[in-house]
Structure 1
Amino acid sequence: MTGVGALVGVGVGPGDPEHVTLKAVRELREADRVFVPATSASAGGAGRAETVAAAHVAPERLIRLGFAMADEDGRDAQWDAAGQAIARVVDAGGTAAFATLGDPSVYSTFAYVVQTVRALAPGVTVRTVPGITAMQDLAARTGAMLAEGTDGVALIPWTAGEARVRAALDAFETVVIYKGGRHLPRLLEVVREAGREDEATVGTHLGLGGEVVTAAGAADGPVPYFSTVLVTPARDAAARGGRL
């Protein structure tokens, strides 16, 4: 097994098929095989990345790979199975595309896929196609400015722990919190305790049917895992360049 082919991580954005770049579409269409992650949340149906990719690639060309990130016992076995399926393509000299939500370099399953495939096919060429992230999409949908002048931006998963989220809220003008959907009530309590509830927005199912974008104060109960909380500072529209 020589591993002479290529593995391409293709970012397909957070949900809206129109957020997929021209380069991403070309890579998906030119690949010998297109792999898409499927999670337990999809209940055997199409996952979000597959739904987006299917708008640009014939559905019969998409191959599902099962992942259950919350299943610590089964995670390694699933990464191994996914890596083996992709390695068969690259070892034959082909190109395997892996469609991933958002960007391949930001909290993506693609990182674990790459590690596994490289171990199985050491000669594989790996490249990535960047994608629009959920924080960019939510900022666009709300008209928020992510960064201006000397602003700092922190992107942190709720799974990093409350202490780190609190520290980010204290230290950065803009804070983006991922992976907090099931714990949204507590997450928003932490935002409120930091005195920043009025600056926070929650986005769910961005670009998909059932999309919800709401102020933090109006958010109610847990939301899906793929949800985003965006906290941006209040800006004085009349003070042009005021944050320089």
Structure 2
Amino acid sequence: MPGSLYGVGVGPGDPELVTLKTARLIRSADVVAYHQGVGKRSNARRIVDDLVPEGAVEEVLQYPVTTGEVQHPGGYAGAMADFYEECAERLRAHLAAGRDVVVLAEGDPMFYGSFMYLHDRLSGDFETEVVAGVPAFAAATALAATPLVRQTDVLTVLPGTLPEAELARRLADTDGAIIMKLGRTFPAVRSALEQAGRLEGALYVERASMPEQRWLPVADVDPSSVPYFSLVVVPGDGHGRRYDAPEPSAGAAEAAQGEVVVVGLGPGPDGWLTPEASDELSRVGHVVGYAPYVARVPQRVGLVRHASGNTVEIDRATHALELARAGERVAVVSGGDAGVFGMATAVLEAQEARSDLHDVAVRVVPGVSAVQAVAARAGAPIGGDFAVMSLSDRLKPWSVVERRLRAVADADLVLAVYNPRSRSRTTQVADMRRILLEHRDPGTVVVVGRDVGRAEESLVVTTLHDLDPESIDMKCLLVVGSSTTRVSPTGAVWTPRSVEP
């Protein structure tokens, strides 16, 4: 009968933090396995020195490399994948022979632990159980006696190995945070905390629950003294990272020089962000927008981020105007061009609705639109007259969309289509195709651009007859040609500028 595999968390370091269940399983194990570095003793094994039975077989799973350079065709990732395969085979032999195998894991087995890679390879073939352990960050907050998150606070756990700019952005967008994997990453982590405005109050905790444990403010830490067994605790305050617009003090409204700058970020790549837009973003104190767009703005010292969902345009526009009314410089961000189905209209609409916001200065900074990006990838399909429409009927009835489609088709204009389909709007592309085929030749050229400018980019040139509505989603932008749009011998799609009478 095959043996069973157990992944057990032995906690952060203090043997008294080992759970009763983990202790029982270790004492009865046939095989005890644990990972350790070259020239180092396993910390997990040290924690349970008094629990491993004398007759148990010990499998030392020694890492072949560190994060440095490796001589492996697959690099570090390839070397580690081979290592985990070899470890799994060693344990598989014990399990197949009927021996129960207990794998020790520092902290919790499924929290940045090596056991999970063995679990991936063995759990499908053998009975497997995972036993939770006390994670290091729980011991760290206990040592510092610091509440981590309260009420509606959001907790984010981050590896310090993230790129500094990405780490800063994520720190700015969360309430409480834990930053793991320090050591050589500490200088970049400290810089990211400062950029995100989270350095004050951030705590450095070293070897939590071990005899040599200590903690101090991150700002006071000597970067050269940071070991692997350390982390940073960024406490939340119980209020969430939501920022209400400050109320101007008496006379401040007249003296304030706040403004709202509505910025188009382009379709995605950093190279498509214009220098003007980048300059504006570098000078504002607040950035407001749909969360994925706010995430594209680099974090820096003093920048406050206000991210929200996709269907509250007027709410966030009003919030931005209120911030500006109180004297703040605010950027409202949109993908593509802010004036093409973007936030520029929402800001002006919100301003018109509130008389106390009429005096707030509003500027719009253009960006590369998605239709420009798709058209450029295809060639020059909008080289002649063209129309731009959204198939979304969230802000206008479908009857209006249908009437406009017929007008565009009757005028023989090239048509760029935004928002073609979503999870809740599944019939519009088919309806559009049917309407256009009443006026257009089935061989009319259609360009389907998906995620243009991103790593997943694809571009398909098809015809109105062959267009598959089921293949279209919200990541797509369509360009439906006119009667004169054609495909060149090199595959470029283009529309002549001249039209015969």
Whether 1:225 and 2:470 are equivalent positions in the alignment is no
Cα 1:211–1:187 change in 2 (3 A) is farther
* C-alpha deviation, 1:5, in angstroms: 1.0
Structure-2 residue corresponding to 1:64: 306
Structure-2 residue corresponding to 1:20: 273
Moved more, 91-100 or 164-173: 164-173
Structure-2 residue corresponding to 1:109: 343
Whether 1:7 and 2:241 are equivalent positions in the alignment is no
- The secondary structure found in structure 1 opposite 2:380 is coil
* C-alpha deviation, 1:228, in angstroms: 1.4
Equivalent pair of 2:381/2:485 in contact (CA under 8 Å): no
Higher relative contact order (CA 8 A, sep 6+): 1
Equivalent pair of 2:447/2:460 in contact (CA under 8 Å): yes
288, 300, 303: which is aligned to 1:35? 288
Cα 1:200–1:237 change in 2 (3 A) is closer
Cα 1:24–1:224 change in 2 (3 A) is same
Instruction: Give the 5 Å matches for 1:142-157.
Output: 142-147=378-383, 151-157=384-390
Take 1:23 and 1:145, find their aligned partners in 2: how far apart are those partners?
27
Structure-2 residue corresponding to 1:205: 451
Take 1:242 and 1:187, find their aligned partners in 2: how far apart are those partners?
25
Deviations 1:58-82 (A, max 9, x none): 278462342443xxxxx5xx623x2
Equivalent pair of 2:447/2:479 in contact (CA under 8 Å): yes
Question: CA RMSD of the aligned region, Å?
Answer: 2.9
Whether 1:174 and 2:414 are equivalent positions in the alignment is yes
* C-alpha deviation, 1:219, in angstroms: 4.4
Q: How many residues align?
A: 219
Equivalent pair of 2:344/2:364 in contact (CA under 8 Å): no
- The secondary structure found in structure 2 opposite 1:64 is strand
Whether 1:124 and 2:360 are equivalent positions in the alignment is yes
- The secondary structure found in structure 1 opposite 2:470 is coil
More helix, by proportion: 1
* C-alpha deviation, 1:152, in angstroms: 2.1
Take 1:102 and 1:37, find their aligned partners in 2: how far apart are those partners?
13
Runs of 5+ unmatched residues, structure 1? 39-46, 70-74
Cα 1:27–1:171 change in 2 (3 A) is same
Question: Alignment identity in percent?
Answer: 22
Take 2:437 and 2:336, find their aligned partners in 1: how far apart are those partners?
28
Equivalent pair of 2:273/2:367 in contact (CA under 8 Å): yes
Take 1:83 and 1:223, find their aligned partners in 2: how far apart are those partners?
30
Normalising by structure 2, we get a TM-score of 0.39
Cα 1:205–1:59 change in 2 (3 A) is farther
* C-alpha deviation, 1:84, in angstroms: 4.8
Take 1:196 and 1:67, find their aligned partners in 2: how far apart are those partners?
39
Take 1:93 and 1:197, find their aligned partners in 2: how far apart are those partners?
56
Cα 1:154–1:136 change in 2 (3 A) is same
Whether 1:195 and 2:448 are equivalent positions in the alignment is no
Take 2:285 and 2:341, find their aligned partners in 1: how far apart are those partners?
26
Q: Which of 1 and 2 has greater Rg?
A: 2
* C-alpha deviation, 1:101, in angstroms: 1.3
Take 2:446 and 2:289, find their aligned partners in 1: how far apart are those partners?
32
Equivalent pair of 1:11/1:132 in contact (CA under 8 Å): yes
- The secondary structure found in structure 1 opposite 2:340 is coil
Deviations 1:28-82 (A, max 9, x none): 11111111213xxxxxxxx2x234x33xx2278462342443xxxxx5xx623x2
Deviations 1:136-191 (A, max 9, x none): 111111112412xxx42111222442232132123134211222124333333444
Equivalent pair of 2:259/2:328 in contact (CA under 8 Å): yes
* C-alpha deviation, 1:9, in angstroms: 0.5
Equivalent pair of 1:188/1:197 in contact (CA under 8 Å): no
Equivalent pair of 2:421/2:474 in contact (CA under 8 Å): yes
Equivalent pair of 1:154/1:172 in contact (CA under 8 Å): no
Equivalent pair of 1:86/1:117 in contact (CA under 8 Å): no
Instruction: Give the 5 Å matches for 1:81-100.
Output: 82-100=316-334
* C-alpha deviation, 1:126, in angstroms: 0.6
Take 2:327 and 2:336, find their aligned partners in 1: how far apart are those partners?
27
Take 1:211 and 1:242, find their aligned partners in 2: how far apart are those partners?
28
Runs of 5+ unmatched residues, structure 2? 1-247, 394-399, 423-427, 490-495
Structure-1 residue corresponding to 2:429: 184
Amino acid at match of 2:411: A
Take 1:196 and 1:16, find their aligned partners in 2: how far apart are those partners?
34
Take 1:83 and 1:31, find their aligned partners in 2: how far apart are those partners?
16
Cα 1:186–1:64 change in 2 (3 A) is farther
Equivalent pair of 1:104/1:110 in contact (CA under 8 Å): yes
